[in-house]
A and B are shown apart, each in its own frame.
Chain A
Amino acid sequence: QKEVEQDPGPLSVPEGAIVSLNCTYSNSAFQYFMWYRQYSRKGPELLMYTYSSGNKEDGRFTAQVDKSSKYISLFIRDSQPSDSATYLCAMSGVSGGSNYKLTFGKGTLLTVNP
């Protein structure tokens, strides 16, 4: 079993839709959970991250972590064509620990159609 699993998609939705992107993981030592967005021909950029369990909201984006299920989600409300990108989940243990390095999912390609 891979440490981090992410459905590659592609996912295509109409403008205004609610998008749900998900990752599962197997390493119970992961404490930091991140979402990166990567536009075509660009480097990944951090969208948001959470520590341990719970939700975090930033504008139209909400990140959720369910450590009991080893499952994380990113929700995008009122999706826009500018949200079209590849979304990468990433996770790590705490700094200084043996699992500090980020482990990435393979990314989900999202297209939001006008």
Chain B
Amino acid sequence: DADVTQTPRNRITKTGKRIMLECSQTKGHDRMYWYRQDPGLGLRLIYYSFDVKDINKGEISDGYSVSRQAQAKFSLSLESAIPNQTALYFCATSDSRLGANVLTFGAGSRLTVL
């Protein structure tokens, strides 16, 4: 099984719908992240969480919310999806005990908003 599991892997939805992307990890890492990747724009940080009680906005948090249900689970919600949220979304984890902030990524969730 993958260390970082994202569900769903692919989702097509309509404008205005609420969408949740889920992430779970077996790495035992304390830090979790949500990124989106767009052609020509690279990876951009949406939200990050250093532990269950610590959630922080990234560079592009507008239109998104997150929930850290447990150390191993971090979900991303789009309350009312819009077409420009069509992107590839990645969950990632890291271990704060390491000096380097090395991220382990999931396989990605491809979201299409029509």
Contacts and interface: CB of A to CB of B under 8 A. Distances in A.
Q: Do A and B associate with each other?
A: yes
Interface of A: 8, 32, 34, 41-46, 49, 51, 88, 90, 92, 94-95, 100-102, 104-107
Nearest to B50: A100
Contacts of B42: 88, 104-107
B interface, by DSSP: helix, strand, loop or mixed?
A: loop
Given A34-B102, A92-B100, A101-B48, A42 B107 contact: yes
Contacts of A90: 103
Interface of B: 4, 40-43, 45, 48, 90, 92, 96, 98-108
B108 A41 contact: yes
A32 B98 CA distance: 12
B108 A43 contact: yes
A11 to B, nearest CB: 16
Given A43-B108, A88-B43, A94 B99 contact: yes
Given A49-B102, A88-B42, A95-B99, 6 more contacts: A34-B100, A34-B102, A44-B105, A49-B100, A95-B98, A104-B43
Given A101-B48, A104-B42, A106-B41, A32 B100 contact: yes
Contacts of B102: 34, 46, 49
